[in-house]
Amino acid sequence: MRKFVSVLLVAAVALLTAMPAQAQLFKWGVKAGVNMTKLDFDDYKDKMAGFFVGPMTEITIPVVGLGVDASLLFSQKGIKADHDRTKQYGLDIPINLKYTFGLGSSLGIFVAAGPDFYFDFKGGGGMLDRKNAQVGINVGAGLKLVQHLQIGANYNIPTGDHFDWKGLYGKGKDKTWQIWLAYIF
């Protein structure tokens, strides 16, 4: 039994040391993209666009392709209040479990899913009352190109109502498509 464990341990160490130097466990970069928000009340629907930008980190288990992707994003989403276009600014923190299928050393396809936490800078007040925090679920996919670029899209599904348009349309939520580009250092 000891010989079997010793052989297994030596094989694991040999496999880990034979990995290429590019296979890093921890990577960081910058992510930016477009928010396409659909505001959905009971009797009113609207679509608007915004942007997001901020740092990201990725922790990946080499060879397996499984990892965690997290970002700290300044996010702008659009809303329309009484025919006056206003913007919603906040901090968006998506944390996704990511699985990458490798197609060689310079190309990969990934799928990702996880929670998304959004903190509104302005919050409530007036006719359009917004919650200060919102929790949602992200689902997405994308491409890893030449070891430094990532292109992706994800859909954020809110878990509850985020807005209350008092006296007009009732409570509502904002569902958001995000298309993004990231550069990994």
The Cα–Cα gap between 67 and 152 comes to 16
Q: How many CB atoms lie within 10 A of CB 157?
A: 12
Model confidence pLDDT, tens digit, residues 125-140? 555 556 778 899 999 9
Parallel/antiparallel/unpaired status of strands 45-60 and 128-130: unpaired
In order of start, what are the domains of the chain with their CATH numbers?
Answer: 22-184 (2.40.160.20)
Q: Which of 51, 49, 55, 50 is nearest to 31 (CA)?
A: 55
In terms of average pLDDT, the best of 46-60, 67-81, 165-179 is 46-60
Model confidence pLDDT, tens digit, residues 12-58? 454 444 444 445 688 999 999 999 988 766 666 677 888 999 999 99
For the record, the structure tokens of 54 come out as 């901020």
For the record, the structure tokens of 137 come out as 């679920």
pLDDT bin (cut points 50, 70, 90) of residue 155 is: very high
5-19, 79-93, 94-108, 116-130, range with the lowest pLDDT: 5-19
| Chain centroid offset of residue 97 CA | 10
Q: Which of 92, 159, 83 is nearest to 128 (CA)?
A: 83
The Cα–Cα gap between 112 and 7 comes to 36
Q: Is the pLDDT of residue 151 over 70?
A: yes
Its pTM stands at 0.75
